[in-house]
Amino acid sequence: MNDVKCECGHVNPHGTVLCEACGKILDEQADKNQLLDMRYEGSARRSQTYNKTIIDKIWNFFSSVKVGVWLIIITLIASALGTIFPQKMYIDQPPEVYYQQEYGTLGKIYYQLGFDDLYSSWWYLLLIAMIGISLVICSLDRVIPLYKALKAQKVTRHEGFLKRQRLFGVNSDAADKDLTLVKEQLQRKRYHIREENGNLLAEKGRFSRWGPYINHIGLIIFLIGTMMRFIPGMYVNENLWVREGETALVPETGEKFYIHNNKFILQTYDKNKDKTFAQALSKAGEVAKNYQSNVVLYEQSGKSLPGEKPKLKKVMDYKIRVNHPLSFDGYSIYQASFRSELSAMTFSLMNKQTNQTYGDVKIDLYNPKETYDLGKGYSVKILNYFPDFEFAKNGEPSTKSRDPNNPAFIFRMYTPDKPKGETSFVAIRQTIEPFGNNTYKMAFRGIDTKNVSGFVVRKDSSMWVIILGGIIFMIGVVQGSYWQHRRIWIQRKSGQVWIAGHTNKNWYGFKREIETVLAGTKLTMPEDQLQAGKNKEEG
């Protein structure tokens, strides 16, 4: 494991293929190749060099681009599998029922394999994590040697290095004025020129070689950002339903913020008003135009205990719409959905025979009163209230939940002629008179509904990391894709002038650039040895 000293005097790390300074071929195996493999400047990629301990083996596994590509391909296929049927989060039935019912046996197998929640499965996360590890190790293993090699490169290069470049040509001699012209033209093309003993190295766009590593750094930062969500307190994602006219605590804000819902608004497109869309609307029917909640955001001044009435200070009025969330103090509240709920029911106390009524009772379904006095000796008492009525197994009336989805009441109606009162059980489209025939009834008059806005409360404290990662990634990709690292060597070797060129991509453009650089001189265009070889093969 010794370092290798090249004949030019430069000391290269073990495993180097091409001398970092002069480009002489140090690895005998590479010698036989017609053209040099310039991918990492022939530098010693450390992963390939040391392979002793288990740590080294793991390291080398992740350092391989081949492994990296396989990881990408496997992730790609796995991701595609997850789109065959809808994921668990997009269905509104229990998954064990849904998949078989909708997609038959295939659906059942899909569910049994756990593909219904593929993207949060341990193995999918592990795949992403392995890509992340591969990114770190691949980059580390390549960027450092590449940096050293590009930094150590000297102007004068070894003969073998020049000869085995893809672009290479020999001129028997060149006049000094030709060389000066070439230099000028190179400078005009923004080449950075270094000279040494009449030899010349023109180079530009070296920074594009760092592009891949910078975008990998961006990706890693991005992944770290998404990982940070799992740190408690970094990420909030809560549903919040607020009825019109009510004030609710915004969850996960440490009892600090309250939101009052003034009104929920649903607008749809109107065929007659939105004439442009008339044709489409006549086919599609109702199309929503706007979902909006007019809210007031409050902040608690001081600290109250849960259950205590908080002292609220208004922060702002806001109209929350889709695409226009309410943002404050790192939190965002989004308009996510809505529903309409029964809020009140109205009944009339009525004589069954004469159909005469003795006043209306409007019952607030969230907080019914015990007694409703109608005057003149008429009153109604609610003995029991079932907001979400059903008959329990034992036949007793009971309620399924606290939400007024199907309200039912047991009324006792007091009237001057029945001062002891009559009992009546009233549910939607159902009246039972448990103690025989009544004289009076509670006649249904109408319902009031109230909209309930569904909000999503979000806080994403790692968002800036994700954004930073995204920006760095884009910079890296653009840097690596839209620029090329181009080098031209013009060197005097044994009385001749040798020209060799290398670019990391986009050879066509590079060759045209060399043509313009050499224009007006006697120097001949170097030959594309790769194409020459091919042409020979093709005959």
Partner 1 sequence: MKKRRLVMRTIILLVLCAAVVYTLYANFTKDNHQSVAVGSKAPDFVLTDLEGHKHRLSDYRGQGVFLNFWGTWCPPCKQEMPYINNQYHQFRDKGVQVLAVDIQESPLAVNEFASRYHLDFPIMIDTNKEVMTAYGIDPLPATFLIDKNGKVIKYYTGQLSENLVREFMEKIKP
Partner 2 sequence: MASISSNLLFIAFILYLAATLFYGGSIKVKKDSNEKKTTTKWGQIAVLLTIIGFISQLGYFITRWIASGHAPVSNMFEFTTFFGMALVGAFIVIYFIYRTTLLGLFTMPVALLIIAYASMFPRDISPLIPALQSYWLYIHVTTAAIGEAILAISFAAGLIYLVKAIDQTKSDLQTFWLEIVMFTLVTVLGFVVVSSGFSAAGYHEKFNWIDKNDNQVTVDYTMPAITGPHKGELLTKGGFQPWVEMPAIVNAKKLNTVIWSLIGGLFLYSIIRLLLRKRIGAALKPLVKNVKLDFVDEISYRSVLIGFPVFTLGGLIFAMIWAQMAWSRFWGWDPKEVWALITWLFYAAFLHLRLSKGWHGKKSAWLGVIGFVIIMFNLVAVNLVIAGLHSYAGS
**Residue numbers of the site for partner 2 (CB under 8 A)?**
37, 39, 65-66, 68-69, 72-73, 75-76, 79-80, 82-84, 86-87, 89-90, 101-104, 119, 212, 237, 269, 274, 276-277, 279-281, 283-284, 287-291, 321-325, 332, 334, 336, 456, 458, 466, 470, 473-474, 477-478, 481-482, 505-509, 530-531, 534
The phi-psi region of residue 513 (left if phi > 0; otherwise alpha if psi is between -120 and 50; otherwise beta) is alpha
The phi-psi region of residue 379 (left if phi > 0; otherwise alpha if psi is between -120 and 50; otherwise beta) is beta
Least CB distance to partner 1 at residue 122 (A) = 6
The candidate with the shortest Cα–Cα distance to 171, out of 490, 539, 460, is: 490
Least CB distance to partner 2 at residue 290 (A) = 6
3-state secondary structure of 524: coil
The candidate with the shortest Cα–Cα distance to 292, out of 267, 274, 270, is: 267
* Residue 456 touching partner 1 (CB under 8 A): no
Q: Which stretch binds partner 1 (CB under 8 A): 105-113, 378-386, 495-503, 525-533?
A: 378-386
Can you give the length of the chain in residues? 539
* Residue 193 touching partner 1 (CB under 8 A): no
* Residue 122 touching partner 1 (CB under 8 A): yes
What sign for the dihedral angle of Cα 110, 111, 113, 117? positive
**Which residues, numbered 223-242, are part of the site for partner 1 (CB under 8 A)?**
224, 227, 230-232
Q: Which CA distances in Å does 184 have to 64, 176, 535?
A: 43, 12, 34
Q: Which of 2, 28, 55, 302 binds partner 1 (CB under 8 A)?
A: 55
Q: Which CA distances in Å does 144 have to 2, 141, 483?
A: 19, 6, 21
**Dist CA 259 CA 456 (whole Å):** 12
The entry of partner 2, partner 1, none near residue 354 (CB within 5 to 8 angstroms by kind) is: none
- The pair of three-digit structure tokens given for residue 514, joined into one six-digit string: 């060399």
The entry of partner 1, partner 2, none near residue 86 (CB within 5 to 8 angstroms by kind) is: partner 2
Q: Which stretch binds partner 1 (CB under 8 A): 121-129, 269-277, 283-291, 510-518?
A: 121-129
Least CB distance to partner 2 at residue 276 (A) = 5
* Residue 384 touching partner 1 (CB under 8 A): yes
Based on CB atoms, which residue is closest to partner 1, 227 or 525? Answer: 227
Least CB distance to partner 2 at residue 474 (A) = 6
The entry of partner 1, partner 2, none near residue 428 (CB within 5 to 8 angstroms by kind) is: none
- For the residues of 390-433, what is the DSSP string, one character each? EE-TTS-EEESSSS-SB-EEEEEEEETTEEEEEEEEEETTEEE-
Based on CB atoms, which residue is closest to partner 1, 43 or 529? Answer: 43
